[in-house]
Amino acid sequence: MSLEHAPDHVKLAVDLIELLESNDIKPQVAVDALTIVLRDFKGKIPSKDDSQKASKVVDQQNPK
């Protein structure tokens, strides 16, 4: 199966697996590190509440 048409997240996952395995990273070390990475990146995704707050700020700054 070719990754050529795979979604970006699948391509990245394959690359990360290859990187970890080619560097002989122990599975538990990889899981622990990826848990930290996942927590960090999830924190960078704006929540619905954040986007609603941003919309309210823009609306308040630009009244009709």
**∠ CA 26-32-37 to the nearest 5 degrees?**
120
pLDDT at 6 over 80: yes
pTM of the model: 0.67
**Over the stretch 23-46, which tens digit does the pLDDT of each residue have?**
999 999 999 999 999 999 999 999
Q: Which residue, chain included where needed, has tokens 């609603």?
A: 52
Checking if the pLDDT of 15 tops 90, the result is yes
